[in-house]
Amino acid sequence: MNSYKGFLLSYIRYGDNDAILHCYTEESAYLSFYIRGIYSVKNKKKAYLFPLNELQLSTNKGKFNTELLMASNIESVSKKDLYQDIKANAVIFFVADLLNQILRHENEAHPKLYAVIAEFLQEVELSNMQAHLVLMLKIIKIQGWAPLESEATYLNPETGNFGNSEVHYLFDKENSMIWKAYLNKENPYDLILTREQRQKFLDSLLVYYHFHFVDFKTPKSLEIIQDIF
């Protein structure tokens, strides 16, 4: 029997009572699990199924198929209750949607990446509703896509370099300076943006992801964040 700790990124009901869970685990990066009976009437553990909940999963030696590990037990590691807050809920759903897309091909443990997800959740618990912006930027750094800093003014999202002329309307002087501020700040979670700046910075992050992550698609949950914020 093996044990895995991981953040739940997405899940789907399978049949009447079973489920397939997609998690980013501390031990083996992205893994998918098949768990029986989680949706049965008497099983209270279906309450554990919400995005980015940190789970402890035990597995049998066998597999449900070549891609799914058979989970024999599931426990919730976290006792946090962030989902009563509409804004926190929207931010977490958006991040889970994003991570499920960009981490699904990760197959080696990455402690630093796991740690920044945990850090993000701590910030949301502290009511930092800009935390998703910092997480997205930290992922860019961890994955090696970070812009190369220079004295030039305008960030080119395609090349990842700063230049002396604007090449994309979202990367004007003000927003390029915000990128520099986030890249250089020791604790970027301390930075505060206006609503307009926050929206523009998020849009620019998504453009950057499109250029540097193969087949990246804008998360469907983006619309919810835009409506709430």
Note whether residue 95 is domain-resident: yes
Q: Which CATH number characterizes residue 141's domain?
A: 1.20.1440
Are both 92 and 181 inside the same structural domain? yes
Residue 22 confidence (pLDDT): 97
Whether the pLDDT of residue 66 is over 80: the answer is no
Question: Mean pLDDT across the chain, nearest whole number?
Answer: 93
pLDDT, tens digit (0-9, with 9 covering 90-100), for 108-145:
999 999 999 999 999 999 999 999 999 999 999 999 99
Number of domains present in the structure of the chain:
2
- Relative to beta strand 18-25, strand 54-63 is unpaired
User: Considering the domain boundaries, does residue 92 fall inside one?
Assistant: yes
The stretch 89-95 carries a mean pLDDT of: 94
Residue 86 confidence (pLDDT): 87
Mean per-residue pLDDT, 58-83 = 79
Range of the domain at 178: 86-228
97, 138: one domain? yes
Is residue 72 located within the same domain as residue 90? no
Predicted pLDDT of residue 81? 67
| Within-domain flag for 81 | no
Following DSSP, what letter does each residue of 85-154 receive, concatenated? SHHHHHHHHHHHHHHHHHSTT--S--HHHHHHHHHHHHHHHTT-TTHHHHHHHHHHHHTT-PPBP-S-SE
**Residue 159 φ/ψ, nearest 5 degrees:** -90, -20
Range of weakest confidence among 84-88, 155-159, 200-204: 84-88
Give how far the C-alpha of residue 220 lies from the chain's centroid of Cα atoms, to the nearest Å: 13
Convert the pLDDT of each residue in 102-116 to its tens digit: 999 999 999 999 999
Q: How far is CA 133 from CA 79, 84, 117, 178, in A?
A: 24, 21, 12, 11
Looking at 16, 48, 76, which one is the last position of a domain? Answer: 76
DSSP character at residue 42: T
pLDDT over 90, % of the chain: 85
Same domain, 36 and 95: no
Average pLDDT over residues 28-48: 95
Of the residues 17, 42, 76, the one at which a domain ends: 76
Q: CATH number of the domain at 55, please.
A: 2.40.50.140
User: Does position 61 have pLDDT exceeding 80, yes or no?
Assistant: no
CB 178 within 8 A of CB 193: yes
**∠ CA 42-24-227, rounded to 5°:** 85
Longest alpha-carbon distance in the chain: 63
pTM of the model: 0.93
- Rounded average pLDDT over 55-81: 82
Which whole number is the average pLDDT over 27-48?
Answer: 94
The secondary structure element, H or E, covering residue 206 is helix 195-212
